[in-house]
Structure 1
């Protein structure tokens, strides 16, 4: 497909991604109307518009670099100042909510399968892949896709529908967290705390108040980037080493333990927490880590919006989009209900849903974009559980729907 900027024009694509992220930040902090539309959503919308107007391609090596390097780099940067004791104490409710949301994904998948099984080919395989993806993330989708081997056309159409739904779901979740009646019923302590900040009185937007200027030295920037990249290197190399050393297991429990031990993002988060504990005093004085990490996340939001091709959805995957839409809405409805029963606030509900449908990194990105900094560490850790359980959920769902289809 011809686009104004070609997939191999790396310089132009990097320029677009950087300008799009910067524009989103500027709009969010400059204009009052944007206080209701977070910069993360603005970045998504810029990317979706550009890809659908055929200014940029929907797939390019540049985007893979953001997924493979920029996102991992952001995680330590965002967690350097995490209070480990507070995280452990406050995370149990979020873990229960996340697991409940995973069960909601299973329910939603079965309902969607029953509604559309006569209209979409290979829907049993699609159900297995999507339920795995909507419990963990793209890693689980790839694993289930390799296992179930759907037709190339169905696999490609499912990926398009999945990408579009992920971008659309982010818009729904972020909008939901700002609705006054929702905030009153479920509670929104994290948003309330930001709005009560006296600095808000002298600022145009919530974002401008939160990201007030701070003293950041060249030394701070150098230490932040170098130490973060070092942790990423150690975590990823350790993950590869452990996978080669441990191999695979013949039983489900052993396989579960190996996946847990060797997951590179869980190792990355764990090593960051170790560093944050060992060098707590030094990291607390370090300026710039939150700013650098958040900018990386904005780049990520640009990239995840790019594959959301409206024309491909309309022409090739309208029923598949309806399929994933049903799953996402059932997930949201059940998670909100369970969250209310367990007295979870709307921020926790939104992040649990996000971690299921989009994975822990996107949930952390949403938390940062809204200023819910106390939830970044917990949702990253808890969301990583989805990488472990996702393939098992996908396998169970595939078995269930194949029995239904008989």
Structure 2
């Protein structure tokens, strides 16, 4: 077994890499036009993927787990502090509609992929349930479906490898689509036009123009970080409490399952409490400076970590057919999203974020919105995307039960 130059337990070195590469990605995006067009998020992802595959950094580490467990939850409230709550419902209605249309693509892709490969890949009913759930809301659903259908451990590992590789490629494609003239000509792009309009001067990239220097005090930093930690702590404790007291398993029914999915989900609770806090104390949050910058940097750490597990060698040797399976689902989702989005006159930005939220979850979709500067879509996609956690479990369960009857 190959070992990496930086060992998995070399915590400080890995944190130095994560923060350093995130900083370099941001610098390149703001300094060079080519990097701005690619986006710093993709630079962060690709760099991590390359270094992982060349065995410079490990594929797994507790440091990466810390990013998922601590960095991402802290980023969410920080990025919601400056949200205009009064516009959430107006913006979210459109996002909810395109999100549900995008979900049709996931379901169609899962069914098509299962029918084509069910005689070739073993346990495809379990994999189909896992990926249908995962590609409607994210990794939370993947874990839930793998436990529900009692998928073998090696099967879960192989599927995770294929999924990680596909998601890394998919995020790159989604981030690149807005730069393609065909899509700019055939879809409405008001959010991209707004970002371009606000760009100041030919000598400055859009990213540099957007992330200009601003006044920030020690009190701003202290209040922002302390408030974010408090919201995460309270939200997660509440969600865990409700998840523990609401009946589950044999004692549950569809109402309990739905209730558990809503108030027992940590991220949905965190988003909800943050939105309520901002609504109740708008002056406090509006006066906090630097929250977008702090939250965005944390999201860049998340993008670096996304690229790490995509081991190309492992995909080729252990799960090439699984890669084909997830590829079909991804392509169908993107096809349905773009086609139905065009038919119902959605903006290109809304379509891409909805597809991202389906396949990657609300955090990756919000990260894309942040990286692109589509600020008015950050809150809507976070709110709508977290609903995918609930929808995904029902879709995965239903398809999994049906697939079992076809084998």
Q: TM-score per shorter chain, which class?
A: over 0.9
- Per-residue CA deviations over 1:197-236 (Å, capped at 9, x if unaligned) read 1x43154311111101111111111111111111111100
State whether residues 98 and 341 of structure 2, in contact with CA within 8 Å, keep that contact through their aligned partners in structure 1.
yes
State whether residues 40 and 298 of structure 1, in contact with CA within 8 Å, keep that contact through their aligned partners in structure 2.
yes
The equivalent of 1:344 in structure 2 is 346
Distance 1:39 1:373 in 2: 16
Q: Does 1:182 align with 2:187?
A: no
Query: What TM-score, normalized by structure 1, do the two folds share?
Result: 0.97
Distance 1:187 1:200 in 2: 23
The equivalent of 2:206 in structure 1 is 206
Distance 2:202 2:189 in 1: 23
CA RMSD in angstroms, aligned pairs only: 1.2
The equivalent of 2:60 in structure 1 is 59
The equivalent of 2:141 in structure 1 is 140
The equivalent of 1:229 in structure 2 is 229
The equivalent of 2:359 in structure 1 is 357
The equivalent of 2:103 in structure 1 is 102
Indicate which of 328, 331, 335 corresponds to 2:330: 328
Q: How does 1:119-138 map to 2 (within 5 A)?
A: 119-138=120-139
The equivalent of 2:296 in structure 1 is 294
State whether residues 203 and 209 of structure 1, in contact with CA within 8 Å, keep that contact through their aligned partners in structure 2.
no
The equivalent of 2:378 in structure 1 is 376
Q: How does 1:7-86 map to 2 (within 5 A)?
A: 7-86=8-87
- Per-residue CA deviations over 1:297-342 (Å, capped at 9, x if unaligned) read 0000001110000000111111111110110000000111111122
Q: Does 1:272 align with 2:278?
A: no
Distance 1:48 1:124 in 2: 30
Query: What TM-score, normalized by structure 2, do the two folds share?
Result: 0.97
Distance 1:6 1:300 in 2: 20
The equivalent of 2:247 in structure 1 is 247
State whether residues 354 and 381 of structure 2, in contact with CA within 8 Å, keep that contact through their aligned partners in structure 1.
yes
Residues 386-395 or 147-156, more deviating = 147-156
Total equivalences in the alignment: 404
Distance 2:185 2:374 in 1: 17
State whether residues 246 and 256 of structure 2, in contact with CA within 8 Å, keep that contact through their aligned partners in structure 1.
no
Distance 1:389 1:205 in 2: 39
The equivalent of 1:157 in structure 2 is 158
The equivalent of 2:397 in structure 1 is 395
Secondary structure of 1:177's counterpart equals helix
Secondary structure of 1:200's counterpart equals coil
Distance 1:360 1:402 in 2: 29
Deviation, 1:250, is: 2.2
- Per-residue CA deviations over 1:244-269 (Å, capped at 9, x if unaligned) read 22232521132112211221111111
- Per-residue CA deviations over 1:94-151 (Å, capped at 9, x if unaligned) read 1011112122111101111122222211111110111011011111111111121223
Distance 1:203 1:79 in 2: 31
Secondary structure of 2:56's counterpart equals coil
Deviation, 1:153, is: 2.3
The equivalent of 2:118 in structure 1 is 117
Distance 2:406 2:103 in 1: 21
Distance 2:268 2:98 in 1: 19
The equivalent of 1:2 in structure 2 is 3
Deviation, 1:177, is: 2.1
State whether residues 74 and 232 of structure 2, in contact with CA within 8 Å, keep that contact through their aligned partners in structure 1.
yes
State whether residues 105 and 328 of structure 1, in contact with CA within 8 Å, keep that contact through their aligned partners in structure 2.
yes
Deviation, 1:155, is: 1.6
Secondary structure of 2:137's counterpart equals coil
Distance 2:282 2:60 in 1: 40
Distance 1:128 1:345 in 2: 31
Secondary structure of 2:67's counterpart equals helix
Distance 2:218 2:312 in 1: 43
Distance 1:11 1:254 in 2: 44
State whether residues 41 and 171 of structure 1, in contact with CA within 8 Å, keep that contact through their aligned partners in structure 2.
yes
Q: How does 1:298-317 map to 2 (within 5 A)?
A: 298-317=300-319
Secondary structure of 1:201's counterpart equals coil
Distance 1:261 1:121 in 2: 36
Distance 1:367 1:82 in 2: 13
Residues 123-132 or 394-403, more deviating = 394-403
Unmatched 5+ stretches in structure 2: none
Distance 1:370 1:90 in 2: 17
State whether residues 76 and 231 of structure 1, in contact with CA within 8 Å, keep that contact through their aligned partners in structure 2.
yes
